Structure 1
């Protein structure tokens, strides 16, 4: 009967051991998957933060003075365009007048015609040079205006910034939940290992007692049996001392984690208040930018 009990106990222990091994493998797989997800989300968070920082740098460049500079540049471009159109009209009028004069001069003497034609060519060359200079100035002004417009359009709106902030908060919360889940898996794995070790020790103790119970009845084996029991008792006490020490360490760690959690909660409260104030200031800033554009 005892042999049957031992076989059943060993069989149960082996089954438990196999089950624990399977759980360990599954936990490792889950842990690797969660770590991959964590790394992926961490990379995504870094990319979003990098884009947000770049947008912030661009936004900082466009202060009210920069907007005034853009307005002045627009005014200069409009003035240059008007001057260009006026000068073209003036040139056309002069060309028409010169053509009329040329028609009249063709009817005059050949000597007078050559002198006047030379003067007209010089004036025409001078006017053409001025026209080219104005055209070049207008093109340069258009290029500067296009660059400033591209930089200004690249600046994100307040809605986009708010979406970035919400996305950062969501990523932070998701990573915190994954971290808590990973810690729980580690704790559960360690607890299963401890349970397995204690179960094995308990079965070994019962097997030893069962093996020695027949001999313990005899007088010659009583002393050795008592010594074995004392040895087993000492090992149990040593294990209990280790467990007590581990329990105290875990208790201290728990108190420390509670203090850190309370500190983080306080910081989160301060952050939420600061974020609300920042969003309010951003809305005011956006309204001021809208007024400046008008």
Structure 2
């Protein structure tokens, strides 16, 4: 890795940079005692100053500056270059390190800006010098130009000669005997020709010059207005026909011009704008109607959505009811369910038959009523009783009576059937289902377990009580026996007969204790035998319970298989 100053490419770029600064006019690069850093920094500062760029940063280069000042100067130079919108980026450490590969484009750009600035300043100085020379040392004017100047001056004088603006109302000529009248005449003449400023300038010593001028103007009349009114009156009085024709021609021309304007581009644009406005109004109306339709459709959509939600809720309710019915039907005995279904079918058929009979009977009744009305009308028209019509009427009444009796009997039969159906349904309801039986069984098991636990606890308490009672009895007997022995022993020792009697008593006591012991052992053996028998019975019952559970499980599986096969066969 070469050092930056020993790199041949860096050396070549350094030489090109120095030559470029020398060509731009920075001759300090020829000084051999200065380092490359001083030459580059000085050249950059000089170029920025030569460009005459308005900045608030001091980029003045000074010789024999310390390192901190040089670094600060490089930072300011980079900041100024960024504000000058230099097209090449550079950093302060690149200037300080002598990276001429990046310094050369910046110097080249600055030198170009220096030459452009010099050209602008040269053109400006040249134009300024020529202007100053023409002012001081212009060419002599010849006679032809002098005559043209005189003609122009005369033309200007004629064009700007005094014109009467006001005319004095007092047309009588007065003699000007004294100085005041002459002065007033001069003042009025100046006012008539619009030279009031001269009057005000000459009367600077007077206190009220403006008031005098106003007083003079009041005694005058405007010349232009007077002449204009006279001319207009004469034209109107003399040439009315010509004016009317001119006005008509002007109106026709204006109308033609308007038509041409309408046919021109602007007119076409106006017509297009009008058509666009009409179309826009139509589109806005259409949009409003569409918005109304959209709102109506949205309202309908919401209504249909609400109705759909209601239908969905009803469907869900019906579905839940069907599921509940299916659950209930599963728990019912299939034979009873078939019987109920058959009875319900009979009931529906009977009800349907009843409705049909009612309709037929109603129709027959209507027909009979019509016939009765006809017959009554005939009877009223023919009061004879032995006529065949009366006999026919009696037959009809008898037939009606038989039909009504038959209807009554059928109603009674139907009521009887309904009562039977209700009784059967109540009986079916009284029969518990398998789920109810399982619940009852579980409840009985729980009750049995609770009662068994309570019985066991009570029995244990009784047994414990009896045991403690027996222990107390035996302990009291033992205490009384020991006390009697303790009381009789001192007296029995006194004599030999007493000793014999005391020994006999002890032997009898030992014999009674042995007898009670044998009784207790016998009782214990009996209880053990009972316990063994109960254990054997418990084992047998447990075996039976296992067999029962197995059989019950097989039976339930058989029931499920039977239900599956029956449902599949249907």
1:27-68 Cα offsets, whole Å, 9 max, x none, are xxxxxxxxxxxxxxxxxxxxxxxxxxxxxxxx8994845753
CA distance in 1, matches of 2:386, 2:564: 68
Q: What are the residue-to-residue correspondences of 1:224-243 with 2, within 5 Å?
A: 224-243=501-520
Q: Which residues in structure 2 correspond to 1:182-197 (within 5 Å)?
A: 182-197=458-473
CA distance in 1, matches of 2:463, 2:364: 89
Give the equivalent residue in structure 1 for 2:529.
252
The equivalences for 1:112-131 within 5 A come to 114-131=387-404
Taking the aligned partners of 1:288 and 1:112, their CA distance within structure 2 comes to: 75
- For residues 126 and 73 of structure 1, the distance between their equivalents in structure 2, rounded to whole angstroms, comes to 29
Give distance in 2, aligned partners of 1:212 and 1:112: 138
- The verdict on how the C-alpha distance between 1:142 and 1:289 changes in structure 2, with shifts beyond 3 A counting, is farther
Q: Is the 8 A contact 1:77 1:142 kept in 2?
A: no
Give the alignment of 1:260-275 within 5 angstroms: 260-274=537-551
> How far 1:195 moved relative to its partner?
0.8
1:200 aligns with 2:473: no
CA distance in 1, matches of 2:565, 2:357: 33
113 and 228 in structure 1: CA distance in 2 versus 1, 3 angstrom threshold? closer
Question: 1:232 offset after TM fit, Å?
Answer: 1.9
**Residue 83 of structure 1 aligns with which residue?**
357
Q: Which residue, 456, 459, 469 being the options, matches 1:180? A: 456
Decide whether the 8 Å contact of 1:216 with 1:222 is kept in 2: yes
Structure 1 stretch displaced more, 113-122 or 200-209: 113-122
**Which deviates the most, 228-237 or 262-271?**
262-271
Partners of 1:206 and 1:262 lie apart in 2 by 48
The answer to whether the 8 Å contact 1:62/1:152 transfers is: no
Does 2:372 match 1:95? no
Deviation at 1:217, TM superposition (A): 4.0
CA contact (8 A) 1:73 1:145 kept: yes
Going from structure 1 to structure 2, the CA distance change for 1:182 and 1:252 (only over 3 Å counts) comes to same
Unaligned runs of 5+ in 1: 1-58
Kindly indicate whether the alpha-carbon contact (under 8 Å) linking 2:343 and 2:421 is maintained by their aligned counterparts in 1: no
Write the deviation string for residues 98-157 of structure 1: whole angstroms up to 9, x where unpaired: 424654x46976669942233133123203311321232123213312322232134235
Find the partner of 2:342 among 49, 63, 68: 68
Q: Pick closer, same or farther for the CA change 1:289–1:160 going to 2, 3 Å.
A: farther
Q: TM-score if structure 2 supplies the norm length?
A: 0.35
State TM-score, norm by structure 1: 0.63
Structure 1 residues 123 and 232, CA, compared in 2 at 3 Å: closer, same or farther?
Answer: same
CA contact (8 A) 2:488 2:502 kept: yes
Q: Are the structure 2 counterparts of residues 119 and 199 from structure 1 closer, same or farther at C-alpha, using a change threshold of 3 Å?
A: same
Residue 213 to residue 96, structure 1, CA distance change in 2 (3 Å): same
CA distance in 1, matches of 2:438, 2:353: 39
Residues 280/150 of structure 1: CA separation in 2 closer, same or farther (3 Å cut): farther
Q: Is the 8 A contact 2:340 2:425 kept in 1?
A: no
Aligned to 1:38: none
Partners of 2:503 and 2:459 lie apart in 1 by 44
Corresponding residue for residue 138 of structure 1? 411
1:77 and 1:138 in contact (8 A); partners too: no
8 Å Cα contact 2:375-2:393 kept in structure 1: no
**Residue of structure 2 in register with 1:47 after alignment:** none
User: What's the CA shift for 1:82?
Assistant: 1.3
Equivalences for residues 128-167 of structure 1 within 5 A:
128-156=401-429, 157-158=432-433, 159-167=435-443
Q: Which has the higher contact order (CA 8 A, sep 6+)?
A: 1
CA distance in 1, matches of 2:400, 2:482: 116
Q: For this pair of structures, how many residues does the alignment match?
A: 232
Change beyond 3 A, Cα 1:109–1:135: closer
Q: In structure 1, how many angstroms separate the alpha carbons of the residues matched to 2:520 and 2:554?
A: 50
Structure showing the higher helix proportion among its residues: 1
Distance 1:194 1:151 in 2: 63
Q: Residue 245 of structure 1: CA displacement? A: 0.8
- Report how far residue 161 of structure 1 moved: 3.1
Q: Deviations over 1:189-235 (max 9, x none)?
A: 33133212211221122112211332354462433333332222222
Could you list the per-position Cα deviations for residues 76-109 of structure 1 after superposition, in whole angstroms to 9, with x for gaps in the alignment?
Answer: 3421331132122122123224424654x46976
